[in-house]
Amino acid sequence: MQSTVYFYGGAGAVTGSNFLLDTGGGKYLVDCGLRQGLDEAANWEPFAYDPAGISHLVITHAHLDHIGKIPKLVKDGFAGVIISTTATKALAEPILRDALEILTRNAEHHGRPVLYDATHIAAAMRLWRGIGYHEKVPLPDGVELQLLDAGHILGSAMAHFERGGKTIVFTGDLGGGNSPLLKPTEEVHPTYMVMESTYGDKTRPEDAERFERLENVIEDAVARGGTLLIPAFSTERTQDLLFDIRKLMLEGRVPEVPVYLDSPLAEKITHAYMAHPEYFADDIRARIEGGEAIFTFPNLHYMQDADESRKLDSNPASKIILAGSGMSSGGRGLAHERQYLPDKNSTLLIVGFQAVGTIGRRLIEGAKTLQLYKEKVPVRAKVETLYGYSAHRDSESLLEFVNKAADSVQEVFLVHGEPASSMFLAQRIRDYLGLKATVPELGQAAVIEL
């Protein structure tokens, strides 16, 4: 039998994941993400398919570039079933609600209509069914779905579709195996693989030393007498950092300066993490179930409201601020950046992938001034990067993941990467593994045996 995969988003780009698997008698979507960075305007374009004709939407994980357009899909007529792990469902609701605030602000700024409202989020949550890893879900047209652990963020999954002995796996984002909190990515042996390639052309030797590097950055930042500002994604990155900072402080390896978590969303996500111990690595699960508050320590303070957040900036003492908004595109993180970037004693630590066109990317590229809130802000603070906190695999480890599936895979489709990154990895898969690897363009279709 034949099916068709359509690459409607996350092809030739790292954001906006959206794939359609059409088996003839069944239409299933995988992910429905928001585009971020340069092609944000594309979010307002109509879907390339009729949302009402889709029976199931499978969600790999709760990052906004995989879930951010679900409420728009519902608004535009989708009335099928949304399937993800239970943890992903729990994380998705606060993330979507938080995104709505930012989307509303951005829409006003750009003079565009808001993509959706709170009623569409509520409607999406009513259609949403949480399942566990390895639970087999029959779909129409003789297809069976399973979710496998992707090891990327809590509850992250690969979507595994099977029919007539043939299989296709959509990897979603694949964890780097560097999180102490999560289980490693499961091995898969599918016929076809639609795989992410965010870091398809990068190697990150520092993954193993990220804990020591974080220790050095904190020591250096405190010694310089300023503030260490860490803009971090609210999901996974913040929890990884809290876990490691807690360890460094409890073991007396860094000075016990106050740590402020200034992101109401990250606080909610941290609570949702603690409510789902079964999704953690076994030793962490045991510690949580034994009553250990793995993200809590005496000098950690949660910033409740925006007033408190503003007051923080008038306090000159050394401190660490973990602020929301990983791509530095809005929220309180931006207000802190305006405060600390011009301060030569302060340090800005960038901990993950920054999409082209974002402020974070310009800082990594060495920008000396930035445009924030319509004003030019000089960059005098020390800018440090620590890629070891990326929740993604690097080029070597993506290749290794494909290699383990080489016994079964007929073709690998590389998505969720900037073109140079995907092309580079495709070439390596062809050269080193002798497998067929393609980089689909946006809107392209591929016929598969399924």
Smallest CA-to-CA distance from 319 within 273, 359, 261 is with 261
Residues 321, 336 contacting (CB under 8 angstroms): yes
Across-strand partners of 168? 161, 192
Shortest CB 152 distance to Zn ion, Å: 6
Residues 179, 240 contacting (CB under 8 angstroms): yes
Four-residue CA torsion sign, 61, 269, 329, 110: positive
Cα separation, 388 vs 325, in Å, equals 18
Residue 196 as a binder of Zn ion (CB under 5 A): the answer is: no
Residues 155, 84 contacting (CB under 8 angstroms): yes
Beta-carbon contacts of 287 under 8 Å, excluding residues fewer than 6 positions away, are: 294
Beta-carbon contacts of 410 under 8 Å, excluding residues fewer than 6 positions away, are: 191, 192, 436, 449
Residue 163 as a binder of Zn ion (CB under 5 A): the answer is: no
Residue 393 as a binder of Zn ion (CB under 5 A): the answer is: no
Q: Which is nearer to Zn ion, 63 or 332 (CB)?
A: 63
Shortest CB 357 distance to Zn ion, Å: 18
Candidate ranges 59-67, 185-193, 224-232, 437-445; the one touching Zn ion (CB under 5 A): 59-67
Smallest CA-to-CA distance from 156 within 392, 424, 403, 422 is with 392
Shortest CB 73 distance to Zn ion, Å: 19
Residue 63 as a binder of Zn ion (CB under 5 A): the answer is: yes
Candidate ranges 56-64, 130-138, 235-243, 281-289; the one touching Zn ion (CB under 5 A): 56-64
Beta-carbon contacts of 405 under 8 Å, excluding residues fewer than 6 positions away, are: 187, 188, 189, 190, 193
Q: Where are the beta strands (DSSP E) in 197-330?
A: 227-231, 259-262, 300-302, 319-323
Shortest CB 201 distance to Zn ion, Å: 18
Tell me, by CB under 5 A, how many residues bind Zn ion.
Answer: 2
Candidate ranges 58-66, 79-87, 282-290, 294-302; the one touching Zn ion (CB under 5 A): 58-66
Shortest CB 63 distance to Zn ion, Å: 4
Residue 31 as a binder of Zn ion (CB under 5 A): the answer is: no
Distance between first and last Cα of the chain? 5
Q: Which is nearer to Zn ion, 68 or 440 (CB)?
A: 68
Q: Which is nearer to Zn ion, 184 or 258 (CB)?
A: 184
Shortest CB 285 distance to Zn ion, Å: 22
Applying CB under 5 A, among 22, 173, 196, 207 the residue interacting with Zn ion is: 173
Shortest CB 59 distance to Zn ion, Å: 11
Residue 392 as a binder of Zn ion (CB under 5 A): the answer is: no
Q: Are strands 56-58 and 319-323 parallel, antiparallel or unpaired?
A: unpaired
Candidate ranges 166-174, 243-251, 364-372, 431-439; the one touching Zn ion (CB under 5 A): 166-174
Candidate ranges 19-27, 45-53, 62-70, 140-148; the one touching Zn ion (CB under 5 A): 62-70
Q: Which is nearer to Zn ion, 67 or 349 (CB)?
A: 67
Smallest CA-to-CA distance from 412 within 393, 425, 394 is with 425
For residue 314, the SS3 value is: coil
Candidate ranges 57-65, 105-113, 272-280, 290-298; the one touching Zn ion (CB under 5 A): 57-65
Shortest CB 168 distance to Zn ion, Å: 20
Shortest CB 403 distance to Zn ion, Å: 23
Binding site for Zn ion (CB under 5 A): 63, 173
